[in-house]
Structure 1
Amino acid sequence: MTRTWTPLAITYLVLSLVGLVATAALNVWSVVVARDWFADLFAGGPAVGSIGVDLLVVAVAGSILIIVEARRIGMRHAWLFIVLSGVTAFAFTFPLFLALRERRIAENSHPTPRLAGPNGR
């Protein structure tokens, strides 16, 4: 089976890495300066609270999409993306899922040739 990295899959992979590095740096910074991450998410006023709610709703909808889409195209262990997002960031795991989804779709569109049996079938 050939593993195919399409341009779209690579784009998603790059976004995933940006999401991992950027959110990790900000989370580490928050810990180093002893900030309350959850309080900061909503304490910055209505605009920051709006962004927090916006991202939480998108993360829930994206998590549902991950489970449904993974089942549809036969990706196993999709729940790991959701668990991993709780430890890292959804900005990392969602684009990572999309990259691996693109690979799976590319694989499924180019089936591997079967070898002929002894009767030529």
Structure 2
Amino acid sequence: MTAPSAIRSRVRIALAVAWFVLAVTGLVGTWAFNIAFIADPQGIGYLEGWFANAASSSAAVDVIVVAVAACLFMLAEGARLGWARWVWVLVPLSFAVAIAFTLPLFLGLRELALRRSAAPADRRSRADTDGHAG
């Protein structure tokens, strides 16, 4: 592996780790509040709470639009990466668990896949360079 490709590989790993940390944070953070709500619903329904006032309605619409866009991205990019058989599972999980979990999880898996796909190209490039150096 050449120095620039080794650096790119380490950057991809670091980015994947950051995405996975965000996924865990999104899972724990959202579900801590969901569990607190279930324990004390304060007389309102879950979705009713999303639209309880103008501020929460704005945040709800923001999250819904981003979630739909993220799901479309995950499906399209997942198909491009050859993940069409399983990537669709992330769509219902995005709404049942949290988009704050599934999107960073997808992005972390994507980084690892991109790193793996770059490795053979780096080996071919090195072989070409070594073959012409003689």
Q: TM class by shorter-chain length?
A: 0.7 to 0.9
- 1:102 paired with 2:119, answer no
- 1:27 paired with 2:34, answer yes
Amino acid at match of 2:104: P
- In the TM superposition, structure 1's runs of 4+ consecutive aligned residues that sit over 4 Å from their partners are none
- 1:49 paired with 2:57, answer yes
Q: Which residue of 2 is the match for residue 8 of structure 1?
A: 15
Q: CA deviation at 1:102?
A: 0.5
Q: CA deviation at 1:52?
A: 0.4
1:50-89 maps to which residues of 2 (within 5 A)?
Answer: 50-76=58-84, 77-89=86-98
> CA-atom RMSD, angstroms?
1.8
Amino acid at match of 1:101: R
- Alignment equivalent of 1:39, drawn from 43, 48, 51: 48
Distance, in Å, in 2 between the alignment partners of 1:82 and 1:102 is 19
Deviations 1:17-70 (A, max 9, x none): 000001011000110003421011011x21211110010000000000000001
Secondary structure of the corresponding residue to residue 55 of structure 1: helix
Amino acid at match of 1:40: G
Kindly indicate whether the alpha-carbon contact (under 8 Å) linking 1:30 and 1:36 is maintained by their aligned counterparts in 2.
no
Q: Which residue of 2 is the match for residue 111 of structure 1?
A: 120
Q: CA deviation at 1:86?
A: 2.4
State the identity as a percent.
36
Structure 2: unaligned runs, 5 residues or longer: 1-9, 124-134
Q: Comparing both structures, which one devotes a greater share of its residues to helix? A: 2
- 1:90 paired with 2:99, answer yes
Q: Which residue of 2 is the match for residue 118 of structure 1?
A: none
Say how many residue pairs are matched.
109
Amino acid at match of 2:50: L
Structure 1: unaligned runs, 5 residues or longer: 114-121
Kindly indicate whether the alpha-carbon contact (under 8 Å) linking 1:9 and 1:103 is maintained by their aligned counterparts in 2.
yes
Q: CA deviation at 1:81?
A: 1.1
